[in-house]
A and B are shown apart, each in its own frame.
Chain A
Amino acid sequence: MNIVVCIKQVPDTKEVRIDPVKGTLIRQGVPSIMNPDDKSALEAALRLKDQKGARVIALSMGPLQADTVLREALAMGVDEAYLISDGAFGGADTWATSSTLAAAISKLDYDLVLTGRQAIDGDTAQVGPEIAEHLGIPHISYAEEIRIEGDTVVVKRQFEDRYQILSAKMPVLITALSELNQPRYMTPGGIFSAFREKEVARWTRADIPIDDANIGLKGSPTRVIATYPKQMKEPGTKIETGVDESVQYLLEKLKEKYIL
C-alpha cells in the first residue's frame, strides 16, 4: 500500500501578531512548524505503516525553507519526501494549490492520500477535498479514526454533535483532525539520517504535468480585496437583580435595539 501525505509548513500562529495598519500577518521572527492537522495525518499514515506495512510519501508545496518540515517527516519515519517549489507556483490560492498538488500526486502510485483538515494560517479546509476532486477520487473529511479493511477504508467522521462511520474503496483521500492521534516524536537517529542519508526530492514547474492556467497567482481565482483584524467585541453588561427585574431589563434592551 502506498500512502501520500500532504504537509504544509506554517507560521506558528501561537506566536503570530497582526500588523494593525496593513492587516497582514507579521511573519518576521515567527517560528515555522509543521501544520498540526497535517502532522496528525502523517502520524495516521505511519501507524498504518506500522500495522499493515506501507510506503509513506510526504509531499509539500512551498518555498525552499519548507524542506525543514519534510526532513521532520523523514525523521518521523516516512520513506520518501518531495518538495514542490518554484516561483511559478507562488501566490497560489486553494484552487491553484490543490490543482498543483493533485497533478504532483498523479505522478505517484497511491492507494491513500492523507491531508490535514486545514492549515492554521489559512483555515480554509478546502485544499484536501479539492485535491480529491481534481484526482477524481472520493474523499472523507474530518477523520477521527481510520481503519483499513481489505481494499476499503473505514473512517469515523467527526461533527460537533455526532459522528458518521463511512467506508470507501481505495484510492481515497482523507482529511485528518488533530484529535485523530498524538503524533510521535522524531527520533535523534531519524533526524541525523534525514539530513545525512536521505533526500528531499525537489520538483519544479517542469516536473508537474499541469496547465499554466491553474498554477500560481495567475491561476488563482480568489481575489483578496481587503484584510483586517477582527474587532474585539465590547464587554457585556452583567445584571444582578432579581429574575423579574432582569427579564424586564432584558426586554427593554431588546426593544431598544429593535430586536423585539
Chain B
Amino acid sequence: MDMTLSKEHQMVRQLFHEFAVKELEPWAEETDEKHRFPWENVRKMQSNGFMGIPFPRELGGQGCDTLAYILAVEEFAKVCATTSVILSAHTSLAADAIYIHGNDEQKEKFLRPLADGTKLGSFALTEPEAGTDAAGQQTKAVRDGEEWVINGSKIFITNGEVADIYIVFAMTDKSAGTRGISAFIIEKGTPGFSFGPPEKKMGIRGSSTCELVFEDCRIPIGNLLGREGKGFGIAMSILDGGRIGIAAQALGIAEGAFENTVNYVKERKQFNNPIAKFQNTQFMLAQMKTDIESARYLVYNAALMKDSGKPYSVEAAMAKLKSSQVAAEVTRECVQLHGGYGYIQSFQVERMMRDAKITEIYEGTSEVMKMVISGSVLR
C-alpha cells in the first residue's frame, strides 16, 4: 500500500505547518500557564476555513477529507495540544455527528455554522457515573408536546461553555437500556442549560473542560438527532471517528517533543561533547523515531479507511491505542534527554509530557481500545 501523501495533502500539511508555527506556537506556553482558552487561535482557525475541513462545500465546509483534517490536528498538536483538541472535538465529535446523523434541516441550521466557522461545537456523553460504561446514562429527556425536557448533568466536556452547539445524550426510556438512549442538539443560551466551573487539569490546560447542567431545559422536538433510542449507536460511531482525531493529536504531541529534543541534544554539551554524540542518545532517538512512524501509519490508515467508506472502528482503536502510548512514552523520554531542564516549565517538553497523558484517557481509554480490538480478534 502506498502511504505517500498526494500533492494536495502535502500542500495542506505545509499550510497547517506554517499556520501552527506562525500563529499558534508563540502563544502555546502562555495558553498552558494561564489556563487561558485560546480564542485568538480559534478565531484564526475559523476565518481560515479550518473548522470544516472534511465537510462538503455545499454545507459550508472545505470539501476536503478526513486525512486532510487529521493533518491539521497533527500539525497543530506539534506546537499546541490545547488548540488541536478544540479543533478535534469540534470537527470529529460535534460537526461530524450532525453530518452523519442529522436531517437536511439540522445540517442547514447547525452543521453549516459549525463548518463555516461561525460557531463552535461540543459533544457531551460522559457523566459522573457513566465514563467507560457510557450506557449508564442518568440524564433524562421526557417528551412534552412539541418539546423535549432535559434534566441531568454531563462532566469533563471539552469545549464546554465556549461552544455554541452541543450534542447531548440522554435517556428517553430507562427500561430499554442502551436502546433507551437518544441524541439531542442543544444550543447555548437555551433556558435551563448552564455550566459548572472549569476543571483544572494536568495538561491541555488552555482547553475548556467543564460540567453541563440541564434543569428543565426545553428544546424543540426537531433537535432530536437521529431516531429516538438510537443515541448509543450514534455515540459509539462518532467516537470511532473522534479517536482518529485524538490519535492524530497524540502523534503530533510526540513529533513536537521529538523535534524539540533533536535540536536540544545537538546543542547540549556534557563531557565536552554534544549529548547527540553519545550512543545512548542516538539509540533513544532511533527508537522514538521508529515508534512515531509506526503510529503515523496506523493513524493515516484509519483516516484513509474512513474516507473510503469502509468500517474503521478497529483501525481507529488501534491508531489511538498505539499513538497515545507512543506520545506518553516519547514525551517521557524527551524529558529524560533534557535532564533537569526537561523538568522546567519554560522548556516545551515539560508541557508536552503533561499534554500527552490525556490521549490515553479521553474518547475511550487505552483499555477500551483494547476491548474494541480484542473483540474483533476473538469474534
Instruction: Decide if A and B are genuine partners.
Output: yes
Interface residues of A (CB under 8 A from B): 68, 71-72, 75, 185-196
If over half of B's interface residues share one DSSP class (helix, strand or loop), that class is named, otherwise mixed; here it is: helix
In the complex, residue of chain A having the shortest beta-carbon distance to the beta carbon of B11: A191
Residues of chain A contacted by B8 (CB below 8 angstroms): 191-192, 194-196
Closest Cβ–Cβ distance, residue B113 to chain A (whole Å): 17
The answer to the question of B48 belonging to the interface, with a C-beta cut-off of 8 Å to chain A, is yes
Contact present for A185 and B18 (CB under 8 Å): yes
Contact present for B18 and A193 (CB under 8 Å): no
A72-B11 contact in complex given A189-B62, A193-B63, C-beta closer than 8 Å: yes
In the complex, residue of chain A having the shortest beta-carbon distance to the beta carbon of B68: A188
The answer to the question of B241 belonging to the interface, with a C-beta cut-off of 8 Å to chain A, is no
A191-B15 contact in complex given A185-B48, A196-B8, C-beta closer than 8 Å: yes
The answer to the question of B64 belonging to the interface, with a C-beta cut-off of 8 Å to chain A, is yes
B19 interface neighbour in A71, A185, A189, A195, Cβ under 8 Å: A185
The answer to the question of B53 belonging to the interface, with a C-beta cut-off of 8 Å to chain A, is yes
Residues of chain A contacted by B64 (CB below 8 angstroms): 188-189, 191-192
* Most A CB within 10 A of own CB, among B6, B7, B11, B15: B11
**Please, what's the 1-or-0 string for B272-285, where 1 marks a CB less than 8 Å from any CB in chain A?**
00000000000000
Question: Which residues 42-81 of B sit at the A interface, judged by CB distance below 8 A?
Answer: 48-50, 53, 57, 61-64, 68, 72
User: Complex: how many Å from CA A35 to CA B362?
Assistant: 43
User: Complex: how many Å from CA A75 to CA B49?
Assistant: 12
The answer to the question of B12 belonging to the interface, with a C-beta cut-off of 8 Å to chain A, is yes
Contact present for A189 and B7 (CB under 8 Å): no
In the complex, residue of chain A having the shortest beta-carbon distance to the beta carbon of B57: A189
Known: A188-B49, A189-B63, A192-B63. 7 other contacts (CB 8 A): A71-B11, A185-B18, A185-B48, A188-B62, A188-B68, A191-B11, A196-B8
A187-B49 contact in complex given A192-B62, A192-B64, C-beta closer than 8 Å: yes
User: Complex: how many Å from CA A194 to CA B57?
Assistant: 14
Closest Cβ–Cβ distance, residue B57 to chain A (whole Å): 6
A-B contact count (CB 8 A): 50
A188-B19 contact in complex given A71-B11, A75-B11, A193-B63, C-beta closer than 8 Å: no
A188-B12 contact in complex given A193-B63, A195-B7, C-beta closer than 8 Å: yes
Question: Which residues 90-131 of B sit at the A interface, judged by CB distance below 8 A?
Answer: none
User: Complex: how many Å from CA A187 to CA B49?
Assistant: 6
- For the complex of A and B, the 5 pairs showing the least CB-CB separation, nearest first, are A189-B62, A187-B49, A195-B8, A188-B62, A191-B11
* Most B CB within 10 A of own CB, among A186, A191, A193, A195: A191
**Can you list 16 A-B contacts (CB < 8 A)?**
A185-B15, A185-B18, A185-B48, A188-B49, A188-B53, A188-B62, A189-B63, A191-B12, A191-B64, A192-B63, A192-B64, A192-B68, A193-B63, A195-B6, A195-B7, A195-B8
Closest Cβ–Cβ distance, residue B212 to chain A (whole Å): 30
User: Complex: how many Å from CA A120 to CA B257?
Assistant: 33
User: Complex: how many Å from CA A19 to CA B53?
Assistant: 43
A187 interface neighbour in B6, B7, B18, B48, Cβ under 8 Å: B48
User: Complex: how many Å from CA A190 to CA B15?
Assistant: 11
Closest Cβ–Cβ distance, residue A11 to chain B (whole Å): 16
User: Complex: how many Å from CA A190 to CA B68?
Assistant: 12
Residues of chain B contacted by A185 (CB below 8 angstroms): 15, 18-19, 48
In the complex, residue of chain B having the shortest beta-carbon distance to the beta carbon of A185: B48
User: Complex: how many Å from CA A72 to CA B11?
Assistant: 8
**Please, what's the 1-or-0 string for B341-364, where 1 marks a CB less than 8 Å from any CB in chain A?**
000000000000000000000000
Question: Which residues 295-328 of B sit at the A interface, judged by CB distance below 8 A?
Answer: none
Question: Which residues 5-43 of B sit at the A interface, judged by CB distance below 8 A?
Answer: 6-8, 11-12, 15, 18-19
Closest Cβ–Cβ distance, residue A143 to chain B (whole Å): 24
User: Complex: how many Å from CA A52 to CA B50?
Assistant: 27
Residues of chain B contacted by A191 (CB below 8 angstroms): 8, 11-12, 15, 64
User: Complex: how many Å from CA A75 to CA B16?
Assistant: 14
Residues of chain A contacted by B19 (CB below 8 angstroms): 185
